[in-house]
Structure 1
Amino acid sequence: MRATVALCNSFRTPLIRFVGKRSVPKSVDHTPRVHPASPTGNLPDSFAAYRAKAQQHGPLGRAQFTGGTSGASLGPVRPSPGEFFDRAELPTRFGRLLLTDAEIEAIETGGASMYA
């Protein structure tokens, strides 16, 4: 009990120490700038113009969200050459390895069955 009382009465001191007073910059430049790794090197005219051209798992246009078009009207979805949608479509060399009963038992017992 005495240890708990001693812990409750002590106060916590932070382990990090800051040097000097806190200073807020007097002027911060918030003008938009192009990211150094930007592929185009220029800013979009407006967010609406950017959103009209942007893609994230498909077009971000408003027509899709209003229910005006169905998924079937967009056409079939096919992978590009060299791309696969499922692991089963890959060549057999990339398939799953089949485990023998001895290997399964060794995994389940943590290897103890190999020495018993």
Structure 2
Amino acid sequence: MNATRVLLQQRQPMIRFLGKRAIPSQVDHTPHVHPASPSQSLPDSFASYRKKAQQHGPLNQSSQYSTIGGRPGSQLGPVEAGKGLHFDRSELPQRFQRLAWTQAEIEAVESGGASTYA
């Protein structure tokens, strides 16, 4: 006798469904506003939505520079970190910068730690 066959005969599913499966006769597929929408109204058309939509900047740029990389960086304006923000770890105060590795630490890493016990 197989042990798995005995185990499967005793198994009962933990989930229980009430009633018979029934597919609704009518389903409303008309578009409706999401409950968390700030405007509480649907756009008139997809084109009007695209005029106002922003993803990573305005989508309705009508000039020749509408593609990514269409303008040189000098035209985008200055790039400066805000107060309390830094672009690189080397701009932080000395106590937060990277420490230089000692020769003993390099040896330990390269040998997998065996050089510390030899």
**TM-score interval for Structure 1 and Structure 2 normalised by the shorter chain:** 0.5 to 0.7
Q: Deviations over 1:46-80 (max 9, x none)?
A: 55555445141x4444233169x733333222222
In the alignment, what sits opposite 2:109? 107
- C-alpha separation in 1, matches of 2:101 and 2:48: 55
Q: Pairwise mapping of residues 2-41 of structure 1 onto structure 2 (< 5 A)?
A: 27=27, 29=29, 31-34=31-34, 36=36, 40=38
Provide structure 2 residue ranges, at least 5 long, that are not aligned to the other structure. 1-15
SS in structure 2 opposite 1:88?
helix
1:92 — aligned with what? 94
TM superposition shift of 1:98: 1.5
Q: Within 2, Cα distance between the matches of 1:24 and 1:54? A: 39
| Higher mean C-alpha displacement, 103-112 vs 40-49 | 40-49
CA RMSD in angstroms, aligned pairs only: 3.6
TM-fit CA distance, 1:96: 0.9
Q: Which runs of 5+ in 1 are unaligned?
A: 1-18
- TM-aligned CA deviation for residue 114 of structure 1: 0.8
Aligned 8 A contact 1:106 1:114 in 2: yes
The residue number in structure 1 matching 2:66 is: 65
Q: 1:87 Cα shift?
A: 2.2
Q: Which residue of 2 aligns with 1:54?
A: 54
Higher gyration radius (CA) = 2
Query: SS at the partner of 2:115?
Result: helix
Count, aligned residues:
95
> Once the 2 structures are TM-superposed, how far is the Cα of residue 24 of structure 1 from its aligned partner?
6.4
User: What is the CA–CA distance in structure 1 between the aligned matches of 2:83 and 2:107, rounded to whole Å?
Assistant: 41
**What amino acid is aligned across from residue 99 of structure 2 in structure 1?**
L
Deviation for aligned residue 1:30: 6.0
Partner of 2:106, secondary structure, is helix
